Chains A and B, each alone.
Chain A
Amino acid sequence: DWKSNLLTSTQFFNSGHTNNWAVLVCTSRFWFNYRHVANVLSVYRSVKRLGIPDSHIVLMLADDMACNHRNPKPATVFSHKNMELNVYGDDVEVDYRGYEVTVENFLRVLTGRLPPSTPRSKRLLSDDRSNILIYLTGHGGNGFLKFQDSEEISNVELADAFEQMWQKRRYNELLFIIDTCQGASMYERFYSPNIMALASSQVGEDSLSHQPDLAIGVHLMDRYTFYLLEFLEDIHPASQANMNDLFKVCPKSQCVSTPGHRTDLFLRDPRSVLITDFFGSVRKVEITREAVNLTSAAEQPSEPLSYVDQLPVAEIIHQKPKQKDWHPPDGFILGLWTLILLVFFKTYGIKHLKHIF
Chain B
Amino acid sequence: MAAIETEKQRGRYAALAIAAVVIVLGIPLWWKTTETYRAWLPFSQINELDSLQLQLSVEVEVVLSRGTLSPEQQKKVPLSQTREQEHQIDAKTVLRYRYETKYRTATIMEEDALNQPSAQEADLSLHMLSESACGSVVVYIIPETSTLLPADVKVYVGQRRTALLRAALFEGTAGLKEVLSTLEPQVKQVVDTMSFSHQDILAALSDRIRVGQVSKESLADSMRAIKSSPGYEITFSLLNPDPKSHSLHWDIEGAVNSYIQPLLDKLNPIANFSVDSQILYYAVLGVNPRFDNSVSAYTLNADSLAHVINPVEARLGSNAASSNPVLNFLLYVPDAQHSPLFIRDHSKREIPSNAFHSPRWGGIMVYNVNDMYGPEAEFPVDINISMSKVMGVFLAQLRLMLGVQKTQPPPGFVLQSAGSEGLADWELDRLMWSRSVENIATASTTITSLAQLLDQISNIVINDNIAQQVSSAVTSLQAAVAELEAGNLAFALQYSREAILASERAFFDPSLLHLLYFPDDQKFAIYIPLFLPMCVPIVLSLLKIANEIRQRRADKLAKKD
| A residues at B contact (CB < 8 Å) | 2, 4, 6-7, 9, 12-13, 16, 18-19, 51-55, 103-104, 107-108, 111-115, 119-121, 123, 125, 127-129, 154, 156-157, 160, 164, 167-169, 237-238, 281-297, 299-300, 302, 304, 312-314
Contact B393 A283 (CB under 8 A): no
Q: How far is the CB of B219 from chain A (nearest CB, A)?
A: 7
Contact B408 A2 (CB under 8 A): yes
CA of A154 to CA of B396 in the docked complex: distance in angstroms?
49
Contact A9 B216 (CB under 8 A): yes
B397-409 CB mask vs A (1 if < 8 Å, else 0) is 1011000000110
Q: A300-B254, A312-B243 are in contact. Are A291 and B393 (CB under 8 A)?
A: yes
**Docked complex: B337-361 residues within 8 A CB-CB of A:** 343, 345-347, 351-353, 355-361
Cβ contact of B220, chosen from A6, A55, A293, cutoff 8 A: A6
Cβ contact of B251, chosen from A4, A51, A237, A302, cutoff 8 A: A302
Cβ contact of A285, chosen from B358, B391, B422, cutoff 8 A: B358
CA of A313 to CA of B380 in the docked complex: distance in angstroms?
11
Q: List 20 A-B contacts (CB under 8 A).
A: A6-B217, A12-B220, A51-B310, A53-B310, A113-B510, A120-B319, A127-B360, A129-B223, A167-B453, A168-B446, A169-B207, A237-B310, A285-B305, A286-B357, A288-B351, A291-B352, A292-B422, A299-B254, A302-B251, A314-B244
CA of A104 to CA of B319 in the docked complex: distance in angstroms?
26
Contact A290 B313 (CB under 8 A): no
Q: A18-B223, A127-B227, A299-B251 are in contact. Are A292 and B216 (CB under 8 A)?
A: no
Contact B397 A288 (CB under 8 A): yes
Contact B243 A292 (CB under 8 A): no
Q: A120-B322, A168-B449, A314-B244 are in contact. Are A289 and B353 (CB under 8 A)?
A: yes
A residues less than 8 Å from B323 (CB atoms) = 120, 123, 125
Q: A7-B220, A123-B323 are in contact. Are A2 and B360 (CB under 8 A)?
A: no
A residues less than 8 Å from B305 (CB atoms) = 285
Query: Which single residue of chain B is at the shortest CB-CB distance from A117?
Result: B321
Contact A294 B395 (CB under 8 A): yes
Q: How far is the CB of A276 from chain B (nearest CB, A)?
A: 10
**Docked complex: B295-347 residues within 8 A CB-CB of A:** 302, 305-307, 309-310, 313-314, 318-323, 325, 343, 345-347
Cβ contact of A294, chosen from B345, B388, B452, cutoff 8 A: B388
Among B94-102, B368-376, B513-521, B549-557, which stretch is in contact with chain A? B513-521
Q: How far is the CB of B514 from chain A (nearest CB, A)?
A: 7
Cβ contact of A288, chosen from B306, B353, B387, B422, cutoff 8 A: B353
Contact B393 A288 (CB under 8 A): yes
B residues less than 8 Å from A120 (CB atoms) = 318-323
Q: A12-B220, A291-B352 are in contact. Are A296 and B388 (CB under 8 A)?
A: yes
CA of A294 to CA of B353 in the docked complex: distance in angstroms?
13
Most chain A Cβ neighbours within 10 Å, of B325, B347, B399, B514:
B514
Q: A107-B515, A157-B517 are in contact. Are A112 and B358 (CB under 8 A)?
A: no
Most chain B Cβ neighbours within 10 Å, of A51, A294, A295, A300:
A294
Contact A288 B515 (CB under 8 A): no
Q: How far is the CB of B386 from chain A (nearest CB, A)?
A: 7
Contact B360 A112 (CB under 8 A): no
Contact B515 A286 (CB under 8 A): no
CA of A19 to CA of B313 in the docked complex: distance in angstroms?
12
Q: How far is the CB of B33 from chain A (nearest CB, A)?
A: 23
CA of A154 to CA of B514 in the docked complex: distance in angstroms?
12
B residues less than 8 Å from A123 (CB atoms) = 323
Contact B380 A312 (CB under 8 A): yes
CA of A55 to CA of B314 in the docked complex: distance in angstroms?
7
**B247 adjacent to chain A (CB < 8 Å):** yes
Query: Which single residue of chain A is at the shortest CB-CB distance from B309?
Result: A283
**B253 adjacent to chain A (CB < 8 Å):** yes
**B258 adjacent to chain A (CB < 8 Å):** yes
Cβ contact of A113, chosen from B216, B217, B281, B508, cutoff 8 A: B508
CA of A160 to CA of B512 in the docked complex: distance in angstroms?
13
A residues less than 8 Å from B513 (CB atoms) = 104, 107-108, 111, 113
A residues less than 8 Å from B418 (CB atoms) = 292
CA of A195 to CA of B408 in the docked complex: distance in angstroms?
36
**Docked complex: B486-527 residues within 8 A CB-CB of A:** 507-510, 512-515, 517, 519
**B42 adjacent to chain A (CB < 8 Å):** no
Give how many A-B residue pairs fall within 8 Å (CB-CB): 185
Query: Which single residue of chain A is at the shortest CB-CB distance from B386?
Result: A296
Query: Which single residue of chain A is at the shortest CB-CB distance from B448?
Result: A167
Cβ contact of B361, chosen from A18, A237, A282, cutoff 8 A: A18
A residues less than 8 Å from B510 (CB atoms) = 108, 113-115
B245-278 CB mask vs A (1 if < 8 Å, else 0) is 0010101011000110000000000000000000
B residues less than 8 Å from A287 (CB atoms) = 302, 343, 345, 351, 355-356
CA of A55 to CA of B313 in the docked complex: distance in angstroms?
9
Contact B258 A297 (CB under 8 A): yes
**B363 adjacent to chain A (CB < 8 Å):** yes
Q: A2-B408, A287-B356, A296-B386 are in contact. Are A13 and B507 (CB under 8 A)?
A: no
Cβ contact of B514, chosen from A12, A160, A169, A313, cutoff 8 A: A160
A residues less than 8 Å from B365 (CB atoms) = 288
Q: How far is the CB of A159 from chain B (nearest CB, A)?
A: 10
**B11 adjacent to chain A (CB < 8 Å):** no
Cβ contact of B358, chosen from A164, A284, A294, cutoff 8 A: A284
Contact B347 A283 (CB under 8 A): no
Q: A283-B358, A285-B306 are in contact. Are A290 and B388 (CB under 8 A)?
A: no
Q: How far is the CB of A150 from chain B (nearest CB, A)?
A: 14
Query: Which single residue of chain B is at the shortest CB-CB distance from A121?
Result: B320
CA of A238 to CA of B397 in the docked complex: distance in angstroms?
26
**B175 adjacent to chain A (CB < 8 Å):** no
**B161 adjacent to chain A (CB < 8 Å):** no
A residues less than 8 Å from B346 (CB atoms) = 4
CA of A119 to CA of B345 in the docked complex: distance in angstroms?
39
B residues less than 8 Å from A55 (CB atoms) = 313-314, 318
**B430 adjacent to chain A (CB < 8 Å):** no
CA of A314 to CA of B258 in the docked complex: distance in angstroms?
32
**B392 adjacent to chain A (CB < 8 Å):** yes
Q: How far is the CB of A240 from chain B (nearest CB, A)?
A: 14
CA of A103 to CA of B361 in the docked complex: distance in angstroms?
32
**B224 adjacent to chain A (CB < 8 Å):** yes
Q: A120-B323, A297-B258 are in contact. Are A19 and B361 (CB under 8 A)?
A: yes
Query: Which single residue of chain B is at the shortest CB-CB distance from A161?
Result: B514
Contact B307 A19 (CB under 8 A): no
CA of A113 to CA of B460 in the docked complex: distance in angstroms?
14
CA of A166 to CA of B396 in the docked complex: distance in angstroms?
33
Q: How far is the CB of B447 from chain A (nearest CB, A)?
A: 11
A residues less than 8 Å from B388 (CB atoms) = 294-297
List the 5 closest A-B pairs by CB distance, nearest first. Answer: A296-B388, A51-B310, A167-B449, A313-B243, A288-B355
Q: How far is the CB of B271 from chain A (nearest CB, A)?
A: 15
Q: A107-B513, A160-B514 are in contact. Are A291 and B380 (CB under 8 A)?
A: no
A residues less than 8 Å from B281 (CB atoms) = 313
